[in-house]
Amino acid sequence: MQKRTNNPLLHLLSWLYGCGVGFRNFLFNQGVLKGETYPVPLICVGNITVGGTGKTPHIELIVSLLSPSYRIAIISRGYKRKSHGQRVVTRTSTVSEVGDEPRQLGLKYPHVRIIVDGDRRRAMRHLMSLPEGERPDVVLLDDGFQHRYVHPSFSILLVDAQRELHEDTLLPVGTLREPASARYRADCIVLTKCPSNLQPINLRIMQRNLALYPHQRIFFSRVIYRDPAPLASLVRDSEHTAHDPQHQTLPSGTSVIALAGIASPNPFYDYLERHYKVVARITFQDHHNFRTKDLEHIRSVWQREQAIVGADEPVYIIATEKDAVRLFDLKQQLGDELTTRIFYLPIATEILYNPEDFKKMIFQAAKALPSGLRPHL
């Protein structure tokens, strides 16, 4: 349950924020502000809360389902990038140019066209202007639930199962970007980060709390952690190479330093505690841009823990996958010795109970055009 504050100023700001968001949604609902439609299936994956709900792993899941059959493009705003305007993600793009999540997707799926642009309409115009042989069959809109100027043909709303909407409130008191009633704009809701032993009674309670319309679909997903992979393995020809058994692995019980700069690091830390000997933790804010002093801090913690453990037992650093993407661009500053000691923990998303129904739904969404289609090219 969310911790509530009694600060009256924050409650006033939350009320004012809600008035602004509500008025904006009212203008869209009444057609005063209009979302543009395009002659291509557009699947939106987003949330209505700040903090991690697992958007990138779910985008990866959808890409893995569709990419054998469809030409896919992804549009992302490139959160916390240092560049401006529109960028096309390439294998040589850096985090500072495109953001960590587009960079991660670009490394995993080099065959997918990824556009970074805060103006999603401009990004869609770019995609629609491509030659017919390069134009995508389906577009994934990453974190676009609030970007209503682009009208999706199918919307997936992600909700952290540990932070249910009925227990939350609007920013800055809570974590909601929009009122919880915004969930009714979604065609499908996925409750993410569920425990693997989720009981049927808990499923029914969460479904009841959401109180969805009959036409809305609901699914439940959980995070799967893969074996740690060396930092250098981020550059590869496919998403499967990272799990190549020829890659160096870390045996259970290895002394490691856990490094995380994500919104909700506790599940990551808990997993490492269960499988390795965690001798230290290094925590940064979500989407943290590593600076020289941060790298020196990482190096000093590693040197300190290595000295404590002793030269006979190497100490490794295990970072989250998102942090590894940011560290990869800084390999020269890290140096060869430290780089070889850095691993990352790949993650994936698994749909619980009815994955075939989810797959079928995604394939149907990949064929559907927005209702009342009026192309704007």
Per-residue pLDDT of the chain (377 residues; tens, 9 = 90+): 455 678 899 999 999 999 999 999 999 999 999 999 999 999 999 999 998 899 999 999 999 999 989 999 999 999 989 999 999 999 899 999 999 999 999 999 999 999 999 999 999 999 999 999 999 999 999 999 999 999 999 999 999 998 889 889 999 999 999 999 999 999 999 999 999 888 889 999 999 999 999 999 999 999 999 999 999 998 754 444 444 545 678 999 999 999 999 988 999 999 999 999 999 999 999 999 999 999 999 999 999 999 999 999 999 999 999 999 999 999 999 999 999 999 999 999 999 989 999 999 999 999 988 765 544 44
Tell me what pLDDT residue 296 has: 97
By the 8 A CB rule, do 230 and 343 touch?
A: yes
- The full set of domain ranges for the chain reads 34-225+352-365, 229-345
CB atoms within 10 A of CB 367: 12
Our measurement of the distance from residue 329's CA atom to the centroid of its chain's CA atoms, rounded to an integer in Å, reads 19
d(CA 323, CA 12): 36
Q: 177: Cβ–Cβ under 8 A, 6 or more apart, which residues?
A: 21, 47, 48, 49, 50, 146, 171
Q: Is the Cα torsion angle 76, 82, 87, 91 positive or negative in sign?
A: negative
Two structure tokens written together for 199:
């009981």
Model pLDDT, residue 237:
40
Output the pLDDT for position 45: 97
Q: Do domains 34-225+352-365 and 229-345 have the same CATH topology?
A: yes
CA atoms in the 13 A half-sphere facing the CB of 334: 20
> How much of the chain is in helix, strand and coil states, percent to nearest 5?
35, 20, 40
* Bond prior to 172 in cis (omega within 30° of 0): yes
Query: Which fold, 229-345?
Result: Rossmann fold (3.40.50)
The answer to whether residues 260 and 323 touch, using CB atoms and an 8 Å cutoff, is yes
Helix (H) or strand (E) holding 96: helix 95-98
Structure tokens at 143: 């974190």
Which of 3.10.20.30, 3.10.270.10, 3.30.9.10, 3.40.50.300 is the CATH number of 34-225+352-365? 3.40.50.300
Dihedral sign computed on CA atoms, order 7, 12, 15, 20: negative
R_g of the chain computed on alpha carbons:
21
